A and B are shown apart, each in its own frame.
Chain A
Amino acid sequence: MSTVDFLAPRTWEEALAAKAERRDALPIAGGTDVMVELNFDRRRPAALLDLTRIGELAEWGSDGSVLRIGAGVSYRRLIEELGGRLPGLAMAARTVGSAQIRNRGTVGGNLGSASPAGDAHPPLLAAAATVQVASVRGTRRVPVAEFFTGPKRSVLAPDELIEAILVPPAAGPQQFAKVGTRNAMVIAVCSFAISLDRERQAVGTGIGSAAPTPVRALAAEQLLAAARWDRPLPEPTVEKFGELVAAAASPIDDVRATAAYRRRALAVLARRTLRWAWEELR
């Protein structure tokens, strides 16, 4: 007979203390990932740490030049309240699950699960977001690109919790696209996000479901950064961009698709989102 302790802290301090004391506790917010894992008996945590009672986790605001999004902000609120300032993230959030899942699921939870298929990850990578993690030992900030260490693994220490995500508001066009085996409630076959910074002529990218972790396509970013931004992109550059994005992925064959298809589809998504974003620049 197995029992699970259910820890329900009311404040952030209590949550950090609880996590310090019970490092084996699995944090749960919307439960849209955790409950699936429990249902399939993939995990048998000794304790669940419920974070839904902590009001400040569900808040967002400005932190200097960036937006600070509490780990407990739902996808639905991201879309409704931050869609204008973070269009790439909002586009990805709209493809998450069903309306019910978007009401429950949170970006903090998505990061905590660290699935290579997490829908929020590519736009966070493209936007150069930072994850603020905390423990009783203090807080630290980790660039999203360094947050993931493997499939469903991250840099989180056993006593740490995700507190917030810090994202610069869009400084130019952002796009997101995904291939799935149905329209809604589907785990991505692959996804791609792009973010253009008009002033600095900087480019961000993010690839989902096509490598052990969500990854950036650095060579593709450099290619674009070196292009002329004041005119239409030459078609060979668009083609090359697609190739470099596909090359940045290291996909596998699984029940949803083969590696070959994922590479191919990524190149298509990359070219398309680039064309859409470039069109918006003008």
Chain B
Amino acid sequence: MAIVGTRMTRVEDHRLLTGAATYVDNLRLPELAGAAFVTFVRSPIAHARITHIDTAQARAARGVVAVYTAADIDVPPMGTPPMLTNGAAMARPCLAKDVVRFAGEAVAVVVAEDRAAAADAAGLVDVEYDPLPAVVSVEDALAGRTLLFPEAGTNLAHEAGELSAADPFADCEVVVTREITNQRLAPVPMETRAAACVPDGEGGLVLWLSTQCPHAVRDDMTRQLGLLPGQLRVIAPDVGGGFGGKIPSEVDYTVLCWIVRQLGRPVRWMETRSETMLTMNHGRGQRQRVTIGGRRDGTVSAYRLDILADAGAYPHTAWLPSATVWMATGAYGIPRVEARARCVVTNTTPMGAYRGAGRPEAIAAIERAIDLFAAEIGMDPADVRRRNLLRPEAFPYQTPTGMEYDSGDYPAALEQVLAAADYPGLRAEQARRRAAGDHRQLGIGLSCYVEVTGLGGEEHGKITMDADGAVTAYVGTTPQGQGHATTLSMIIADRLGVPPEQVSVRHTDTGSLDQGGGTFGSRSLQLGGSVVHEATQRLCDDALPLAAAALEADERDVVLDRESGRWRAAGDPAREISWAELVRRSRPGGSFSVEVKYALPKLTFSYGTHLALVEVDTETGQVKLVRFIGVDDAGRLINPLLAEGQRHGGIAQGIAQALYEEMRYDEDGNPVTATLADYTVPSAADLPGFELLTRETPTPHNPLGAKGIGEAGTIGAAPAVQNAVIDAVSHLGVRHIDMPLTPERVWQAIKEATS
């Protein structure tokens, strides 16, 4: 019986839930015995010249092994990717050299016998700063009065897309324009950044790292440290969440490796939550200007999105707003769409990927624009969507912003959600409360999203089958809680006809698989899953002649019975051989092994519709999320249970952006919401149960028919909730409120609209 498509429970859970998981800081390996502890000394100032660093007192303190500054570390800075328009002069030194560019940037590093001694000594490093004007807003950065990198001559790190000279709105009956802020967020995984590093005894290093991309980190560190290929092995043990924040190669890792080479002894490093809030990349952070135009009958004919994005202090991911440009079109068939992003450096924590990474910003913009347009022409937002959504016959659809959407039925997803919600009933209840002047007004918000998935289109893997029939798969994708071992073992089990318990999945060790892409951009099931699918096919292809020989039959008559996992000769049920017997017979003392590389021929596009129902207290501005209904179509589901888990967590983080979270800075570049008391991550108490509906439209672009599901919830949920809150008070004249929709912001919007 096929296992794919069933709700098999996660093979990882027993270990994770009983505290048996091994995160970096739990590693108790003999080679880590006697490890020193590393703590960074971080700048409390956003922008300053470093005039003097005195490490004498720290070096003399109890238990201190060494203290280093930029002057000691002879490693070149981390260069920006070549695709940036102006990145060449914006490299990041391993430790701040001469200038600090954000509060939290490391200026020195302390190595001590234990964690407490390192923390104490870090406080004894005396750094003198001469403050420089801080560039905090993207507008100030673009104006360029103060430059973060004077040699670059600009704060503009990257530019993507372009706006036409012609007016795309010339023939529109109605045009609406609005400034929108997609606020800066922090990823906040449960496990902070952490690593352990040891000399391997042969001149190389082993780095255990809480990362989403061990292979990329290995390659970047090898290059930066001037190591030979093979001299650095990176292993990600259990990783307690990442959400994008553990994708990048970081200068802190380089420093750790450098220290181990310097001292020849193992080291450990684990940040405090306070540090991680400032050092792990933040995400989003776009000022958007949306313009939407069309006819009074609800037809949208033109849309423009102009983005000014924040790259933070070092623009290593300043290309991310390109993803916003690509996805600007959203789920609609709008004839004229144009988008541009300019990304500038500021004296704030460097930006990077955060669940959705450029795509939520695109959907937030167009979903707000659709509602603004609907309000302007006095049409129900559901009807405007009905009129403009791409129809199933449009696929494959070439968007004006350069994407090719693969498959789906966008209008059906909308109708499915509207029916489940009893949309007319909700509108009637809303009308009743408006007429009664109830202080608890009802708001209904819709979001029809589409997201590009399967980024980083190539992946590697290897499968071996032993003489006892045990299957081991090595894959270049690497989990942070998603359940890869479960889903991949299901695919392999079905393809080879072995029970899933007989399959073990290994990932995240560059020592056991030389190449790998990692996990980000909703890619792992499509890429990692297709890799193992491909590998099982190759394994079967390789085994076929061997099975035919063993069964003394023609290859054309031999098949693998995927129910029993036995090779059979057609027409003679007695002639059969198990995988284990075949291995023993064909490879005495050995095993079967295949290694494959899989490239996704084209990107895939998940989509769906989310509906949020909120109650807004018009006297205090407090928002209560009452219901959340969503349909997400991510192609064929390998395990619906795990897909629901991804949707659930994604929706929670989307709601978090809409209502609760914002990383804020004061005008001097001091972070003001950098603790979990002020950066309000929601808990279960803040969220209702989610009503999750399903659709499955397979993609033609991979053998599984699967698309990505990891970021869908986040992308769809935030605009649905934002639109719902604004809808609740739209009769009072409110047209827009920026996220997060705190009680004060909502109250302020009502006050301004009604006064």
Decide yes or no: A189 and B686 within 8 Å by CB, A181-B680, A255-B673, A256-B678 being known contacts: no
Instruction: Tell me if B's interface is mostly helix, strand, loop or mixed.
Output: loop
For B686, list chain A residues within 8 Å (CB). 182-184
For the complex with contacts A2-B120, A98-B685, A183-B686, 10 further pairs of A-B residues with Cβ separation under 8 Å are A1-B117, A36-B677, A181-B742, A184-B683, A184-B685, A255-B664, A255-B672, A261-B621, A261-B743, A264-B747
* In the assembled complex, A268 has its CB within 8 A of some CB on chain B: yes
Q: Which residue of B lies closest to A1 (CB)?
A: B62
CB–CB A265/B675 < 8 A: no
Chain A residues with Cβ below 8 Å from B683 are 98, 182, 184-185
| Residues A183 and B685 in contact, CB atoms below 8 Å apart | yes
Given that A1-B61, A265-B620 are contacting pairs, would A182 and B682 also be in contact in the complex, using a CB cutoff of 8 Å? yes
A181 to B677, CA, bound (A): 10
- Cross-chain contact of B620 among A183, A258, A268 (Cβ < 8 A): A268
Determine if B622 is an interface residue (Cβ-Cβ < 8 Å).
Answer: yes
Interface residues of A in 161-182 (CB under 8 A from B): 179, 181-182
B677 contacts across to A, CB distance below 8 A: 36, 187
The residue on B at minimum CB distance from A268 is B619
Q: Indicate if the CB atoms of B685 and A189 lie closer than 8 Å.
A: no
Tally chain A residues at the interface, Cβ within 8 Å: 23
Which of B660-707 touch A at CB < 8 Å?
A: 660, 664, 672-673, 675, 677-678, 680, 682-683, 685-686
**Cross-chain pairs A/B with CB under 8 angstroms, 26 sampled:** A1-B120, A36-B677, A40-B675, A98-B685, A181-B660, A181-B742, A182-B683, A182-B686, A183-B686, A184-B683, A184-B685, A185-B683, A187-B677, A189-B744, A255-B672, A255-B673, A257-B743, A257-B744, A261-B743, A261-B744, A261-B747, A261-B748, A265-B620, A265-B621, A265-B743, A268-B620
**Minimum CB–CB distance for A4 against chain B, Å:** 12
Rounded to whole angstroms, the CA-CA distance of A258 and B745 in the bound complex is: 10
Least distance between A183 CB and chain B CB atoms (Å): 5
Query: What are the residues of chain B within 8 A of A268 when measuring CB–CB?
Result: 619-620
B residues 355-409 with Cβ under 8 Å of A?
none
Answer whether residue B564 sits at the interface, using C-beta atoms and an 8 A cutoff. no
Does chain B have a CB within 8 A of A186? yes
Nearest A residue to B120 by beta-carbon distance? A1
> Closest residue to A187 on the B side, CB-wise?
B677
Main secondary structure of the interface of A (DSSP, over half): loop
Bound form: Cα–Cα A269–B62 in Å: 55
> Within residues 265 to 292 of chain B, which ones have a CB less than 8 A from any CB in chain A?
274
A182 touches B61 (CB 8 A): no
Flag B718-755 by CB within 8 Å of A: 1 or 0 each: 00000000000000000000000011100110000000
Closest to B748 in A: A261
CA distance A95 to B672 in the complex (A): 24
Q: Which residue of A lies closest to B684 (CB)?
A: A184
Shortest CB-to-CB span from A133 to chain B, Å, is 28
Residues in B with CB closer than 8 Å to A182 are: 659-660, 680, 682-683, 686
B678 touches A255 (CB 8 A): yes
Give me the 7 closest cross-chain CB pairs, A-B, nearest first. Answer: A184-B685, A261-B744, A268-B619, A183-B686, A182-B680, A257-B744, A255-B672
Which chain A residues border B682 with CB–CB below 8 Å?
Answer: 182
CA distance A124 to B664 in the complex (A): 34
CB-CB under 8 A from A40, the residues of chain B are 274, 675
Evaluate contact between B744 and A258: CB separation under 8 angstroms: yes
Report Cα–Cα, A113/B680, bound state, in Å. Answer: 22
Name the residue of chain A whose CB is nearest to the CB of B656: A182
A186 to B680, Cβ gap below 8 A?
Answer: yes
* Chain A neighbourhood of B747, CB < 8 A: 261, 264-265
Contacts of A257 in B (CB 8 A): 742-744
B-facing mask of A1-27, CB < 8 A → 1, else 0?
110000000000000000000000000
Can you name the residue of chain A whose Cβ is closest to the Cβ of B272?
A39
**Residues on the A chain within 8 Å of B620, using CB:** 179, 264-265, 268-269
Residue interface bits B297-320, CB-to-A below 8 A is 1, else 0: 000000000000000000000000
**Once the chains are docked, how many angstroms separate the CA of A261 from the CA of B743?**
9
Nearest residue (CB) in A for B672 is: A255
Chain A residue, CB-CB nearest to B673: A255
Q: Which residues from chain A contact B660 at a C-beta distance below 8 Å? A: 181-182
CB-defined contacts of A255 to chain B, threshold 8 Å: 664, 672-673, 678
Q: Which residues in window 103-131 of B have CB below 8 A to A?
A: 117, 120
B277 CB to nearest chain A CB (Å): 12
**Alpha-carbon distance between A186 and B682 when the two chains are bound, in angstroms:** 10
Query: Do A179 and B120 touch (CB < 8 A)?
Result: no
Q: Name the A residues within 8 Å of B685 (CB-CB).
A: 98, 183-185
How distant is the Cα of A98 from the Cα of B685 in the complex, in angstroms?
Answer: 9
Interface centre among A40, A255, A257 (most CB of B within 10 A): A255
Q: How far is the CA of A268 from the CA of B621 in the complex (A)?
A: 11
Shortest Cβ distance from B39 into chain A, in angstroms?
A: 14
* Smallest CB separation, B746 vs chain A (Å): 10
A238 to B152, CA, bound (A): 63
Q: What is the CA–CA distance of A216 and B620 in the complex, to the nearest angstrom?
A: 21
Minimal beta-carbon separation of A116 from chain B (angstroms): 15
- Distance in Å: Cβ of B500 to nearest Cβ of chain A: 37
The residue among A179, A181, A186, A189 with the most chain B CB atoms within 10 A of its own CB is A181
The 8 A CB mask of B615-628 against A (1 = contact, 0 = none) is 00001111000000
Complex: chain B residue closest to A2, CB-CB: B120
Residues of chain A in range 261-282 having any CB-CB distance to chain B below 8 Å? 261, 264-265, 268-269
A36, A40, A98, A264: which has the most chain B beta carbons within 10 Å?
A264
In this complex, which of B117, B274, B742, B744 has the most chain A Cβ atoms within 10 angstroms of its Cβ? Answer: B744
Give Cα A255–Cα B671 distance, bound, in whole angstroms: 11
What's the Cα separation between A26 and B675 when bound, in Å?
A: 23
Q: In the docked arrangement, what's the CA distance between A257 and B740, Å?
A: 13
Bound-complex Cα distance A264 to B618 (A): 12
B61, B672, B673, B743: the one within 8 Å of A189 (CB): B743
CB distance from A2 to the nearest CB of B (A): 7
Residues of B within 8 A of A187 (CB): 677
Inter-chain CA distance A36–B677, complex, in Å, is: 10
CA distance A181 to B660 in the complex (A): 7
The distance in angstroms between the C-alpha atoms of A257 and B742, with both chains bound, is 9
Q: Which residues of A contact B622 (CB under 8 A)?
A: 179
Task: Give the residue name and chain of the A residue nearest to B119 (CB).
Answer: A41
CB distance from A57 to the nearest CB of B (A): 27
Q: Does A179 contact B743, Cβ atoms closer than 8 Å? A: yes
Distance in Å: Cβ of B689 to nearest Cβ of chain A: 15
| Chain B residue with Cβ nearest A185 | B683
CB-defined contacts of A36 to chain B, threshold 8 Å: 677
- Which residues of the other chain, B, contact A184 by a CB distance below 8 angstroms? 683, 685-686
B residues in contact with A256, CB < 8 Å: 678
Residues on B with C-beta less than 8 A from A258 are: 744
| Residue in chain B with minimal CB distance to A257 | B744
Please indicate the chain A residues that have their CB under 8 angstroms from the CB of B664 in the complex: 255
Q: In the complex, how many angstroms separate the beta carbon of B279 from the nearest chain A beta carbon?
A: 17
- Given the complex, which residues of B lie within 8 Å of A179, measured CB to CB? 620, 622, 743
* Distance, CA A181 to CA B23, complexed state (A): 32
Set of chain B residues within 8 Å of A269, measured between Cβ atoms: 620
